[in-house]
Structure 1
């Protein structure tokens, strides 16, 4: 699988459970925009069978390399971002993992059993980052128990290995110079934005501003019945030039912390 095939598969999986992304994509194209992806985010657990070091392999194999590391203390997350070595227009890849040892014993045991019950061959699949959920458990009770402690863990239980969000590069848009302008356009078109920490996360002084829609609601059929669960969201990023004249390429942990909450059930109310 080459880079373009990998990125296309990630988009297909993402768009399947995030119909708003296709609609926003179309809305902007009808305005004459050409969409360029700033970054794609993926979630996982730091269990050695599925941690960042495992998920990154497929991206390294198609020309990406690790560039930055980030810590999210309140959410017990660690993350790395990757940039392509030769294609400057390729989206960055952002992979985060839940630090299980910092979670309750109950959550640790739930995730361990989830993975212990899987076919071990699933963990050596080179396309693990595209493999969605391959565990046997499908319990709403387990989902709710994870949700009480970690929305991130609960999301992983439902949606697994796939793109959690794609991100439109505002720098590449022709009709929107400021993120405020794009946000207003989206809201006027009927989309709800994540207002946690403000609709715009970050500042020009931090060289990065970000906003995002709230995650779509997607129907999940549990053993106990069907329920709508927040799936994925669309993000928008505006990067600023640093003193050396180059655009900032990394991420701001305090901003990303709030962007994570776009999938939070509480924000849907």
Structure 2
């Protein structure tokens, strides 16, 4: 899999599970906008073979360079982002499973044990979720960590894509874009305010709340949060160069776009 093949896969998988993103993309194009994807995000657990370092090595083999790392203590999550000139950034996060309750740890360890030994990262992406799931375990995980329940249900699907607002003409500010989206009936993530960040930290972000999709569990079907669409405006730093990193306090709130309990 080369980098173009990866993004072809990611785009197909993401937009098929996120109808709202597809609709927003069409609405913006109808307004004459050119949509540039700033970054995509992937979620995982911190187990050998599927952790941030393993995913990162896959992208480094595609020509990406490891950049900054981030900590989210309240979410029990850590992340690293990778960059490659001419392509979207990749933000990879992992849940620190050992910080969860023993019951949640056992559920996660069980599903990870179902991944065939020697499975390559590329295969993890292409084969969707590689384990069986139950509604009972999903709900138990969700009570403790909605990040955990999301990965449990969706595996290594792309979590979100991001519109680079800097490249929009009519909606060249997040306030304008957010107003347009709300007028069209989309629900935005209001945790920490609709716009997270500020010019002072060189990054402003907003996002929709995740769509809901019916997932097949071993013991039936359940409608759960899937993926969301993010929007980012990047400011220039003092040296005149655009800030290309992320802000932990803002990303912490963006994570909540897939929350069920916060709706």
TM-score category (smaller protein):
over 0.9
Measured after TM superposition, the shift of residue 125 of structure 1 is 4.7
Partner of 1:230: 225
Partner of 1:67: 67
Partner of 1:263: 258
Task: Find the aligned partners of 1:236 and 1:173 in 2 and give their Cα distance.
Answer: 11
Check 1:250–1:154 CA distance in 2 against 1; reply closer, same or farther (3 A cut).
same
Task: Find the aligned partners of 2:218 and 2:56 in 1 and give their Cα distance.
Answer: 32
Moved more, 239-248 or 5-14: 5-14
Task: Find the aligned partners of 2:121 and 2:206 in 1 and give their Cα distance.
Answer: 34
Runs of 4+ in 1 over 4 A off after TM superposition: none
Deviations 1:42-88 (A, max 9, x none): 0000011210111122211111011000000000101000000xx2x
Give yes or no for contact 1:55–1:128 (8 Å, CA) kept in 2: no
Q: How does 1:215-254 map to 2 (within 5 A)?
A: 215-254=210-249
Check 1:31–1:128 CA distance in 2 against 1; reply closer, same or farther (3 A cut).
same
Consecutive unaligned residues of structure 2, counting only runs of 5 or more, are: none
3-state DSSP of counterpart to 1:34: coil
Deviations 1:76-133 (A, max 9, x none): 101000000xx2x3111000000112111111121111111332133x3534244421
Give yes or no for contact 2:55–2:121 (8 Å, CA) kept in 1: no
Consecutive unaligned residues of structure 1, counting only runs of 5 or more, are: none
TM-score, with structure 2 as normaliser: 0.97
3-state DSSP of counterpart to 2:262: helix
Give yes or no for contact 2:43–2:93 (8 Å, CA) kept in 1: yes
Partner of 2:156: 161
Q: CA RMSD in A?
A: 1.2
Moved more, 143-152 or 47-56: 47-56
Give yes or no for contact 1:14–1:165 (8 Å, CA) kept in 2: yes
